[in-house]
Amino acid sequence: MVARHLLPRVALLLALGALTAGCATVDSVKDARGQGVKRTFRQPYDAVFDAALAAAAQRKLELVGQQRGEGRILLSSRPSLGSMGGEQIAVFVTRASDSSTTVEVVAKPVVAAVSFPPDWPAVIFGDIEYELAKRRMPRRP
Is residue 112 within 8 A of residue 29, CB to CB? The reply is: no
Is residue 103 within 8 A of residue 71, CB to CB? The reply is: no
pTM: 0.76
Which CATH fold topology does 24-136 show?
A: TATA-Binding Protein (3.30.310)
The domain limits of the chain are: 24-136
Mean pLDDT by 10 residues, the chain (141 residues): 52 42 61 90 97 96 95 86 72 95 92 73 96 80 61
Ramachandran region of residue 22, left (φ > 0), alpha (ψ -120 to 50) or beta? left
Which DSSP helix (H) or strand (E) runs through 8? helix 7-20
Please tell me the predicted confidence (pLDDT) of residue 92: 97
d(CA 62, CA 76): 5
3-state SS class at 39: strand
Please tell me the predicted confidence (pLDDT) of residue 78: 77
d(CA 36, CA 93): 12
